[in-house]
Structure 1
């Protein structure tokens, strides 16, 4: 192995182990939100249940997007559960629906991870130096390393290399159905309005793999879009009020107008990265 790669792997593993031990210690001493308000056992259970589900939410995306160009009949008998998954996502615009619902699941699962393992303000443990607590606890590096290394990155890499094996189980099928139900609820349908607006500004039409909607389908679709848009505006209003009232986790001393700019910049970066990720999986 390349010495540089070996060094990076070793210190990455050390940091991950330290982060897991640190988070576990914070939960045991009731210094996370859920362990403080409920019980450490509840925090442990929710934390690892969320992390495990995140592995399938992230890995399932890599697999199902990558399997689109593959003839499903080739693995219908060898990987029957993976076949059931792609039989759903390869039909019409279901892959887009799955990706939309899946993104909500990512945010929800990460939220559960944070309330379970995220430290409360002023947390103290093992007499660690202030700079260590500042980096791993206050800046959130411990939670980032746990969530990314265990819940996201390894599953994406493994799933992109073993697409059929990763989705050939009922856990993947369950995750797919949950994502489809989330999308069907209409909670995220304002995203379709953004899609239509971007396509219109580009002078192009949104290409669909399904027949044009009839009157009833259009009413149902755009009705959910309006409900989703109303929810989105309400959420934005709440977020702006919190930003201007200083009731967010933004660093002290940052003016409200700058916090709003940072908020939109980060949202744009996240959107770009998510879109690039899907594109890379699709063409890899």
Structure 2
């Protein structure tokens, strides 16, 4: 359980009732009171602590199975047809695949952790750590200038999604490559022969692979960076070259500029105008050229993927008919979009007085009350991350074309291998339609986005997912790495009042709450702070 390191002296003059406040700096008229924090049931607490052990064991098992699958050459890669018989084997040495997957998992981790640091430090004066943390300073100076922060977030989102797509491909099980004479082609380890249903659930549907991607790939680095943003950026992974430049380069290419078109359209519909011209994009002819070709690219990718789904040419489940695969893909896109936009809309709600929310947006009021009650905020952040990662892996499967099908709408083999079987076209479609578009809509229409039963259902599902404890191994891993690396707290450089970026923005990796984003939201609690995701625990 996360606890605050900063007791509030003012609480002596308050009642014993614990009250949450969300204060909008520079606009003190808005003070949002949340429900009192209630103690957690001892059985639930005991189960959560027990889950640290069994979920860690599950993670170790998942990592072993993933690498065993790759080592046996039963996993997918990009130079085989994934079918039994002649030519089914890989031409790439398995050692190369193992090294490549490991590097990509590490890249996902630093992309996640670095974003926490870069977004979180956008609310502070970077000159305070110019000499004490030179690597952090150089990275933040580049990415906090002008519109670079939004460019970084957009470009990094595509980079992260594409890397996860590749991991899902290289680490995903290819049942056709297992010797059918042993265990009828189902997965096995030595004399341990898995049942067909176990093979289908854990290997073919990538459940174990999802755990590997979510825990060491995403959650651990996010938790490490929360509260120790500077120390994380100073780790020797060269964030300027592994995170900042690649993200800005991908954004510069214009692949994701469709998101800016959606943002501008929704901003006009909502009547929102930017109050900070310095943060605006330079909307010259080159900007609009990239917007145009990005929209055309998204439309083209949509047509190709829909055709592939209906024709059964993607890696979607064989038992699904074409229309079923299409409907399921739309559901996955909608769910990942809701996950992306939820935290942005939730933060924006804090700018609206509670009474106004209760009167005009009753469901949004109910959601905010639930979200900020007890440890629900940290539970939601973890659960939302799990749901988002699961959707990434599933969308990687349904939007990536199969190696076995050589007739994909007359595409040349080099185009098929380069854009369809690698998942690039699928990543372009998913990041623009399923992720960034929902974020941009949530920025400009936060109350409309969240004031419905669908978002309340998403919140409930995320809380249930976290409550299962399946990914709770992220906590002991984060604590252990924190002690090994001896990361210093940001409070050694800043005073607590300087660290004002809310965790919903930091861990959610959200762009600014509004196009103006000239105001900062500060989360405080008079006691038992559960919104501060620092690595102290009780």
For normalisation by structure 1, the TM-score amounts to: 0.91
Query: What SS does the aligned partner of 1:36 have?
Result: coil
Report Cα offsets for 1:8-44 as digits up to 9, x if no partner.
1111111111111111111111101228341201110
CA distance in 2, matches of 1:21, 1:52: 17
For normalisation by structure 2, the TM-score amounts to: 0.49
Matched, 1:61 2:115: yes
CA distance in 1, matches of 2:194, 2:281: 61
The more displaced of 101-110 and 29-38 is 29-38
Q: Which of the residues 43, 47, 57 maps onto 1:4?
A: 47
Task: Identify the residue that residue 235 of structure 1 maps to in structure 2.
Answer: 301
Report Cα offsets for 1:214-271 as digits up to 9, x if no partner.
7xx5211000111111111111111100111122333344343343333233223222
Matched, 1:98 2:159: no
Task: Identify the residue that residue 278 of structure 2 maps to in structure 1.
Answer: 210
Cα shift at 1:179: 0.4
Contact residue 55 and residue 150 of structure 1 kept, 8 A: yes
The more displaced of 56-65 and 169-178 is 169-178
The more displaced of 225-234 and 125-134 is 125-134
**Structure of greater Rg:** 2
> Which one has the bigger helix percentage?
1
The alpha-carbon distance between structure 1 residues 88 and 209, as it changes in their structure 2 partners (threshold 3 A), is farther
CA distance in 1, matches of 2:155, 2:334: 19
Q: Which has the higher contact order (CA 8 A, sep 6+)?
A: 2
Contact residue 104 and residue 167 of structure 2 kept, 8 A: yes
Contact residue 187 and residue 224 of structure 1 kept, 8 A: yes
Q: Structure 2: where are the runs of 5+ without partners?
A: 2-44, 78-88, 179-186, 348-503, 507-520, 524-538
The alpha-carbon distance between structure 1 residues 17 and 32, as it changes in their structure 2 partners (threshold 3 A), is same
Cα shift at 1:151: 0.6
- Aligned-pair RMSD on alpha carbons? 2.2
Matched, 1:117 2:171: yes
The alpha-carbon distance between structure 1 residues 14 and 50, as it changes in their structure 2 partners (threshold 3 A), is same
The alpha-carbon distance between structure 1 residues 221 and 208, as it changes in their structure 2 partners (threshold 3 A), is farther
Q: Structure 1: where are the runs of 5+ without partners?
A: none
Task: Identify the residue that residue 74 of structure 2 maps to in structure 1.
Answer: 31
CA distance in 2, matches of 1:209, 1:16: 47
Contact residue 100 and residue 183 of structure 1 kept, 8 A: yes
Matched, 1:17 2:48: no
CA distance in 1, matches of 2:240, 2:313: 39
Contact residue 20 and residue 146 of structure 1 kept, 8 A: yes
Q: For this pair of structures, how many residues does the alignment match?
A: 282
Matched, 1:50 2:99: no
